Amino acid sequence: MTTAPEPFRDLDWDAAKARAFADGATDIWEELLRSLPTLPVSRRVTEAEVHAAVALDVPVEPMPKDDLLAYLRDVVLEHSMYPGHPRFYAYISGAGTVPGAVADLLAAGLNANLGGWRLSPAATEIELNLTRWFADRFGLPDTAGGLIVSGGAMANFVALKAARDRTAGWDVRRDGVRDGPPLAIYESAEAHVVNDRAADMLGLGTAAVRHVAVDDSYRMRVDALRDAIKTDRDHGVRPIAVVGSGGTVATGSIDPLGDIADVCTDERIWFHVDAAYGGPAVLADDLRPQLAGIERADSIAFDPHKWLYTPHSGGCVLVREVRHLGDSFVVHPTYTRADKDRTGWGLDLMEHGPQFSRGFWALKVWVSLLAHGWRAYAARISHDAALARYLAARATERPEFEATAPVTLSIACFRYVPPSLGRGPGREEYLNQLNERLLTEIQLDGRVFCSNAVLNGRFVLRICIVNFRTEAEDLDALLDVASELGARVDAELRPAQLKDGAA
């Protein structure tokens, strides 16, 4: 008779042990929330220093609980930087909602796999309901739906794969792209590079992406789009999709979405809107009109972990006809068969995207919306945009700064210009050098944290407010720090430049 192995339960913590560890971690989180306003946004540390502090050897025996919690506290409070800090306004990284963080713990504890309905009944229905609600906010019809994915790169990729498979003109999923005519995707010169990477992953190559010229407000020129499509058709290239920007990464500019929709209708091309950053502006009454035309899109990508502030990671792809996701991703493995008529089970979301195993990303977004209500979101999104306008106005009022781009959403760009700097040869080159060095000094300084953009060859400082903790005094602090450090860097750099006759 076969002898059963002895039970092994070392990995199976009971509820009391789990609660004790979770309580310790929650104490660290509470300390972080209390300390955020007084912590530096970032620290002047090197890769080697951080590696030495956090990269432990895996022990043979368990690390004692108190030692492990002390290690985690050190990671969080001594060796991290803080996107949730009120003076973090760089890139497009949300602050992370408190209800979302709690929901993430529950999602991880439940450990649902949203690839199959049978493994995630409540979780799947929550995700389907959430994406349907988002589709309604954007004005899409009842046929629309989508997925929660890891972020904007994946959301755009999924949408453009659906576009390729729908509009190529042959069975690309079966036959690939080698034997058909060349395919082309169109986006503005200010669009995000993830769409170029999507073309690469779709087998089209980055050369298949046409970067259409923009106007003085960094918006796609529709006349240039029509010309590019005509040129391609004349040379045997098949246009398959136009990507309109619903808030570019550099300035937040929004392409003329309604006019682009007209082009796509005329040319029978898939209309995709990359609204990874700006999409949630549809919730705010004062900002929504700028996204007019987005309701005509065949697909939309946007990231709740940006302007809905939810914890990383969580993007969203919406498709006007959700069945097109199935057309692009359905497969029929023998090991996932189910009699849906007999069981009453619902949609297996693995059929609508590239992943078979999927985490419960939707819960942190859903719980954040339930906890705050969408009206509070609308008010805060509108407030963020007002803060960006405030910063641009303040930069214009101060003699050592100049605003460098129109404010459309919650992004503002400016640069440091020493009042004593003349207008001789080499001025722009010197200002680029000065502001690039200034950005580095600001990010190392730790009191504030902004990022940059390059606009018409000019290196500028840039803020993007997707942070519910940021207020006007935090933006005034940025200008004060930039002025202080700018004067110091200018004093260091300009003598050398003058010796070279450059400024």
Domain C-terminal end among 340, 375, 410: 375
Same domain as 350, residue 241: yes
**pTM for the structure as a whole:** 0.96
Rounded-to-integer distance, Cα 375 and Cα 358, Å = 30
Q: Is the peptide bond prior to 313 cis by the omega test (within 30 degrees of 0)?
A: yes
Same domain as 269, residue 158: yes
Same domain as 386, residue 369: no
Rounded-to-integer distance, Cα 392 and Cα 414, Å = 7
Nearest residue to 174 (alpha-carbon basis) of 328, 321, 324, 319: 328
* Structural domain includes residue 67: no
Same domain as 110, residue 248: yes
Strands 315-319, 209-212: pairing is unpaired
Residues 6+ apart with CB under 8 A from 441: 485, 488, 489
Q: How many CA atoms lie within 13 A of 380 on its CB side?
A: 21
Same domain as 439, residue 300: no
Domain C-terminal end among 358, 375, 392: 375
- Check residue 499 and give its pLDDT: 58
Rounded-to-integer distance, Cα 291 and Cα 126, Å = 27
* Structural domain includes residue 210: yes
Confidence of residue 179 (pLDDT cuts 50, 70, 90): confident
Q: Which helix (H) or strand (E) element contains residue 451?
A: strand 451-455
Same domain as 426, residue 355: no
Please determine, for residue 30, whether its predicted confidence score (pLDDT) is greater than 70. Answer: yes
Same domain as 445, residue 349: no
* Structural domain includes residue 343: yes
* Structural domain includes residue 16: no
Nearest residue to 82 (alpha-carbon basis) of 69, 95, 72, 91: 95
Same domain as 410, residue 353: no
Q: Which helix (H) or strand (E) element contains residue 195?
A: helix 194-201
Q: Percentage of residues in the chain with pLDDT exceeding 70?
A: 99
Same domain as 211, residue 338: yes
* Structural domain includes residue 121: yes
Tokens of 14: 């009971």
Query: What are residue 453's DSSP bridge partners?
Result: 460
Average pLDDT score over residue span 205-222: 97
Domain C-terminal end among 323, 347, 375: 375
Counting DSSP H helices and E strands in the chain, the numbers are 17, 11
CATH number at residue 453: 3.90.1150.170
- Residue 214: DSSP 8-state: B
Same domain as 386, residue 326: no
Helices 98-110, 15-35: crossing angle, 10 deg rounding: 160
Alpha carbon 203 to chain centroid distance? 24
Confidence of residue 495 (pLDDT cuts 50, 70, 90): confident
* Structural domain includes residue 418: yes
Q: Percentage of residues in the chain with pLDDT exceeding 90?
A: 95
CATH number at residue 234: 3.40.640.10
Average pLDDT score over residue span 374-391: 98
* Structural domain includes residue 45: no
Same domain as 401, residue 354: no
- Check residue 502 and give its pLDDT: 54
How many domains is the chain built from? 2
Say which range, 90-94, 174-178, 186-190, 210-214, has the weakest mean pLDDT.
174-178
Same domain as 333, residue 421: no
Rounded-to-integer distance, Cα 190 and Cα 474, Å = 28
Domain that holds residue 451: 381-499
Three-state DSSP state, 412: strand
* Structural domain includes residue 296: yes
Rounded-to-integer distance, Cα 82 and Cα 70, Å = 19
Confidence of residue 178 (pLDDT cuts 50, 70, 90): confident
- Check residue 500 and give its pLDDT: 55
CB contact at 8 A, 416 and 376: no
50: exposed, middle or buried (C-beta count within 10 Å: 0-12, 13-18, 19+)?
A: middle
Average pLDDT score over residue span 258-267: 98
